[in-house]
Structure 1
Amino acid sequence: MADIHNISEKLIEEYQKSIDEDDKFNHTKFSRLLSNKYNMVMIDGNIHFFNGKYYQHLDEDTIRQITFLEMPQIKEHQNREVFYKIKAMSINFEEKKLEPHKLVVNNGVLNLKTNELLDDSPQHISTSKVDVYFDPDAKSETLENFIKSVSDEDEHIEKLIYQIIAYCLYKENFLEKTFFFYSMGTKNKNGSNGKSTLLQLIHNFIGRRNTTALKFKDLGHEFKPARLMGKMINIDDDMDNTFIKDTGNFKSIATGRTINVNPKGKQDFDFIPHNKLLFAGNNIPPASDKTYGFYRRMIIVPMKRTFGKGGYKKELGLDEKLNQPQVMSALLNKCLEHLPELLKTGEFIQVDESDQLIESYQYENEPVRHFLDMEGNRPIHPVDGRAREVAYEIYRQWAKRYGYEVMKVHNFTKELVRLGYTVERVRSPYKGYGIDFYHKNSEVLYDVAPHDIDDKYNDKTNIIEPRKGSNLYKKIKSLYRE
């Protein structure tokens, strides 16, 4: 529990007054004393208390620590009752609005907009503290050389990295972005490109208490997102290639929209996330989400430089050299240098390679579109006008050939519908009954035949003319009248 020992005054005397004449512990009076002493308020709909430096989220664990500090002899069932009494009282607590530009540091409260250092006070509404001293004169050649090196001496990427770290300090997700540090090229797919050292620097700077390490897939987990409460950043420094089924929480966290979390064994609650999401890996996993809203929340940071064998020389002990108070103070100054532009423009610097990587990921994340582009020059289109079972078999063979995970036929159909295809039920002379065909622009349908998949049976003798007057017939005729 952060810094609670800084509040030294005890409640022993007041506790005695809270005992009724029959020597029974008075939960209500004791709860009220605690709420007054610890300046309990509501922030973003949740109870917080002032721990001497900043406002900390109050849960069952922290109330247990407070009551133990104030009254070691309190019993566990009394402790729980105090917690529930405080929750009941919270309806009367003052609602405070988080001040995203107030950053609590070791030597005060730093206004990120004015660079003014203020004294610690309950008047400043901040919910976290970084273990850094503000020193406006602090500089570090070690830091600057490292960032320049890990950026491959690309000024745009260097600026982007500083902007990302600065954004991590601001407790509002106003830019609605998440960050993927991506290994570029085959030469450095071993990951020796500095991203681990960079993320360790960010972790040390923001602090262990302010950091979680959930995997991308964990963001959609039933219980794990509760760990994000009260934290500033989440770092997944080794992304795996597991398919992402649910991106709902990912998008909500990126934009700072309220999410509901369910701590295991405890009551669920809502909170507004201010966490910045940082990921690193040699791959970005495929996702079920193909929407613009998913892709627009991503910034991919290209990590181009190779260190070690076949690349630039590694600097031994660099993590330790970077994890020094002077370096952290210098990094804070770099953040203060780059934050004003973010606040003014509302945009990160544009990096062309980053935009290209997003486009590439979007293409790779849509294998059906990729399949259509690659196979579209066949004598007969692989999908348009084809029977579903034939089109799916052509796709299945393509996916296996190029190393894609084969999606189920109903998901294949859903993707085609998203791309503008319709599914038409038409009688197949070959089968003798009605089957499903995919259709978009084709003037005809191609019946199922033994050699159809390999296009050997492409003399068009298996063409099916849609029944005159049918919806498909009218659709085709209208297409070719245009």
Structure 2
Amino acid sequence: MNPYKGFIKTKNKKSIQPFKDRDDLLSYEQVRDLPEYAGVLADGIILVDVDDVETSDIVLDIIDDLGIKCYVIDTTRGKHFMFRATDTVTTNKTKTMTAVGLQVDMKLGSRASYQMLKTNGVTRNWIRRPAEIDEFPFWLQPVKTNVDFNTMEAGDGRNQALFNYILTLQSAGLSKSDIIETIHLINDFVLPDPLDDKELDTILRDDSFKKVSFFKRGEFQHHEFAKYIKSEESIVRVNNVLHVYLNGVYSDRQADIELVMIKHLPQLSQARRRETLSYLELIAETAIVAPAHYIALQDGIFDLETDEFMSFSPDIIIKNCIQFRYVRDAYDEMVDKTLNKIACGDHDLRSLLEEMVGYLLLRRNELGKAFILTGSGSNGKSTLIDMIKHFLGDGNYSSLAMNELGQRFKTAEVFGKLANLGDDISSQYIDDNAVFKKLVTGETVNAERKGRDPFDFNNYAKMIFSANQLPRINDTTDGLMRRLIIIPFNAKFSSKDDDFDPFIKDKLITDSAMEYFLRIALEGLKRVLNNNKFTMPTVAVTELEQYELMNNPLLAFISDDRKIHNELTRDVYLSYSAWCHSNGLRPLSQIQFSREICKRGYEIKIKKIDSKSCRVFSKNM
């Protein structure tokens, strides 16, 4: 990230050229040999100027201890620290106290500010210059206080000062967790003589935190309440939709956001909750969703790339959690036997089933595949779907049919889900599949919820449908076929089987079963990502070829040894239309028909017949 828009000439640290809202700033090559120059801060940068060597060393020690990435430049009297700006600071500050109890100056790139980089012929030295920098930390947030922790010794009332300081930080809008961390930083780095852990625990006990009042002379202060719960409950905006942090992941359910409101104010009326929601829409920061290789599980966040776990954190924005543990050597005989029976002993088909379930865990859709599970009853389809539903959990899947995906208020149901599990879609005719295709490949779609603003999102929910008979889709392009994997279910489960168990579904959703299901799903996902494709058993390839013939009557018409070469285009079309009607199929229009014929080795030529110019199909030789 470049911290500068450009550079300017200075004299005695004062600019000698205009630089506000200018696009003719100097380049580094133009200024580097000057005795003095400055860099004009980029709009997304905040500079913290610590004009004292000892204080600047404290800030640097905290930054290194917390692993914060920022730019650091040495100055003659201290250090400059640069971060990505947030909306915490909106104006430049001079001699302001920070939450951590240190005095600094602050400059914002958005406020037309510059930073001295060379004075008296000496270029300032970069101490830290990482490729990317982190956001401005909360513990440097400006606060109104006269307390000087930097000079406070034992016997100077440190305990009481820290206790009182909690209210100061609450008034500044810091959350409870941020306040606790800030007090620890003051104790560890700022106080000359730190308190012991027991004293600090006493100061930070729960009843030290004042219940903030959100009523003034009987009037509800919705804006203050909104700011409070935003920081206290980690409320952010994802895809222009409000989300709240709950149990390790983020929820976009409005009811969940209202529940955290009444946790703080149990008697809050619906009207006041709506008022608070409206203000939250205005002030919530836009959050960046965590990489797709982070998978939230019951025991933490699993990094698919490193094979390691991380603790849950509000800083890791994930919407979905699989509520089962990852046990690396998990095994469940009932699940293993059932999947083998569903796959009819076909190793490749078993691999594809594992990969399909694993693909649900990846919050991206680049592989662009949807799955249709087909076959007549008692073949394991519904059993597998029930296993997947239990595995994902109620909030992680939707249940739309294919022809519902593009309907108003329906598309939004797949937002933030891991899967859409459509029940039997047999005998449907899908007239418009444009939204379906976009959802499958993760392209941007627009969605709307009742009474709320429309929003755009990139879908990562995988489409899985079951069908006793495959539906016809009004699309004969390669684009549709590329998106489909059709999995035949040819197994037969019967009460006459030696191993018949009427309670098998209960045994397939035990914790042991789900832990094994998770293990093979992750193995399947890794296999897909390594190969950049799914395992394709012969039965699935054949099923797709047969479906293409069924879905595109034109192919079946051509394969019927129809005479097309040198025939009048209108006669061939009439023959095709009659053939469609006799088979209960909907014919293409004549223009579409001609285009499709020409894609399959024919062209249209003008031929004289009885002195008349006629259009005929001619086979390319």
Name the TM-score, length of structure 2 as normaliser.
0.61
Kept in 2, the 8 Å contact 1:204–1:323? The answer is: yes
The equivalences for 1:260-299 within 5 A come to 260-299=446-485
Indicate conservation of the 8 Å contact 1:139/1:326, yes or no. Answer: yes
Cα distance per residue 1:36-58 (max 9 Å; x no partner): 0122233344332211311222x
Partner of 2:357: 165
1:28 aligns with 2:223: yes
Retained in 2: the 8 A contact 1:46–1:271?
no
- CA drift at 1:391: 5.2
* CA displacement at 1:60 relative to structure 2: 3.6
Query: CA 1:310–1:363 in structure 2 vs 1: closer, same or farther (change >3 Å)?
Result: farther
1:54 is matched with 249
Looking at structure 2, the residues matched to 89 and 418 of structure 1 have their Cα atoms a distance apart, in angstroms, of 53
What letter is aligned with 1:290?
A: T
Residues 170-214 of structure 1 show CA distances to partners (whole Å, capped at 9, x for unaligned) of 11112111111121xxxxx3x221111111111111112211110
**Deviation, structure 1 residue 335:** 2.0
Q: Alignment partner of 2:322: what SS?
A: coil
Q: Distance in 1 between matches of 2:394 and 2:365?
A: 20
Report the equivalent of 1:4.
Answer: none
Distance 1:162 1:65, change over 3 A: same
1:329 corresponds in structure 2 to 515
TM-aligned CA deviation for residue 14 of structure 1: 4.3
What displacement does 1:61 show? 3.2
Contact 2:287–2:317 (CA under 8 A) maintained in structure 1: no
* 3-state SS of paired residue (1:231): coil
Q: Does 1:105 align with 2:297?
A: yes
Deviation by residue 1:57-95 (Cα, 9 ceiling, x = unmatched) = 2x54333222222212222222111111111113xx153
Following superposition, the deviation at residue 480 of structure 1 comes to: 10
Which of 69, 80, 87 is the matching residue for 2:274?
80
Letter in 1 for 2:612: P
Instruction: Tell me the secondary structure at the aligned position of residue 296 of structure 1.
Output: helix
Measure, in 2, the Cα distance between the counterparts of 1:481 and 1:107. Answer: 63
1:251–1:294 contact (8 Å) kept in structure 2: yes
Q: Whole-Å Cα distance in 2 between the matches of residues 384 and 309 of structure 1?
A: 57
**Partner SS state of residue 492, structure 2:** coil
Within-5 A mapping of 1:184-333? 189=376, 191-308=377-494, 314-333=500-519
Measure the CA separation in 1 of the matches of 2:219 and 2:565. Answer: 80
Alignment counterpart, residue 68 of structure 1, candidates 262, 265, 269: 262
Alignment match, 1:38: 233
Structure 1 letter corresponding to 2:275 = E
- Decide which structure has the larger Cα Rg and report it: 2
Shift of 1:150: 0.6
> Are residues 420 and 153 of structure 1, via their aligned partners in 2, closer, same or farther at CA, if it must alter by over 3 Å?
closer
**2:215 aligned to which of 7, 10, 19:** 19
CA 1:31–1:360 in 2, change beyond 3 Å: closer, same or farther? same
Q: Give the structure, 1 or 2, with the largest relative contact order (CA under 8 Å, sep 6 or more).
A: 1
Contact conserved, 2:373 with 2:467, CA < 8 A, in 1?
Answer: yes
- Decide whether the 8 Å contact of 1:305 with 1:311 is kept in 2: no
Instruction: Report how far residue 229 of structure 1 moved.
Output: 1.9
Deviation at 1:329, TM superposition (A): 0.8
Amino acid at match of 1:72: P
Find the aligned partners of 1:397 and 1:216 in 2 and give their Cα distance. Answer: 29
Structure 2 residue 574 is matched with structure 1 residue 405? no
- Equivalent residue, structure 2, for 1:142: 334
Shift of 1:353: 2.1
Quote the Cα distance in structure 1 between the aligned partners of 2:471 and 2:546.
13
**Is contact 2:245–2:314 with CA below 8 Å preserved after alignment?**
yes
Displacement of 1:345: 2.0
**Cα deviation 1:344-370 (Å, max 9, x = unaligned):** 221111222212221211121111332
SS in 2 for 1:181: strand
What is the number of residues matched between the two proteins? 413
2:581 matched to 1:417? no
Secondary structure of the corresponding residue to residue 335 of structure 2: helix
Q: Which residue of 1 aligns with 2:548?
A: 362
CA shift in 2, pair 1:481/1:77, >3 Å:
closer
Instruction: Call closer, same or farther: CA 1:101–1:421 in 2, change over 3 Å.
Output: closer
Shift of 1:13: 5.1
Inter-partner Cα distance in structure 2 for 1:358 and 1:86: 49
Whether contact under 8 Å (2:400, 2:423) holds in the other structure is: no
Contact 2:239 2:455 in 1 (8 A): no
Specify every segment of 5 or more residues in structure 2 that has no aligned partner in the other structure, as ranges. 1-205
More strand by share: 2
Matched, 1:440 2:620: no
Partner of 1:435: none
The within-5 A match list for 1:121-136 is: 121-136=313-328
* Partner residue in 1 for 2:63: none
Quote the Cα distance in structure 2 between the aligned partners of 1:76 and 1:339. Answer: 44
Q: Provide the rounded CA distance (Å) in 2 between the counterparts of 1:246 and 1:288.
A: 7
Structure 1 unaligned blocks of 5 or more: 1-8, 184-188, 423-437, 445-462
C-alpha distance in 2, partners of 1:66/1:60? 10
Q: Secondary structure at the match of 1:169?
A: coil
> Which one-letter code corresponds to 1:74 in the other structure?
L
Determine whether 1:395 maps to 2:576: yes
The structural deviation recorded for 1:420 is 4.4
Specify the alignment match of 1:453 in structure 2: none
Q: Secondary structure at the match of 1:48?
A: strand
SS at match of 1:339: helix
The alpha-carbon deviation at position 375 of structure 1 amounts to 5.8
Where 2:428 maps in the other structure, the secondary structure is: coil
CA 1:231–1:480: 2 relative to 1, 3 Å: closer
CA distance in 2, matches of 1:481, 1:152: 44
SS at structure 2 position matched to 1:221: coil
1:222-256 residue CA offsets vs partner (Å, 9 max, x unmatched)? 12111112211111131122111111221111111
Report the CA distance shift for 1:56/1:386 in structure 2 as closer, same or farther (over 3 A): closer
Query: Structure 1 pair 265/480, CA: closer, same or farther in 2 (3 Å)?
Result: closer
- For residue 19 of structure 1, what is the amino acid of its counterpart? F
SS at match of 1:96: coil
Q: State which drifts further: 151-160 or 65-74.
A: 65-74
CA 303–481 in structure 1, closer or farther in 2 if over 3 Å, else same: closer
Counterpart CA distance in 2 for 1:357 and 1:317 is: 31
Cα contact 1:127–1:230 (8 A) shared by 2: yes
Tell me, in whole angstroms, the C-alpha distance in 1 between the residues paired with 2:233 and 2:277: 14
AA paired with 1:102? Y
> What is the alpha-carbon distance in structure 2 between the residues aligned to residue 37 and residue 319 of structure 1?
42
1:6 alignment counterpart: none
Distance 2:565 2:620 in 1: 24
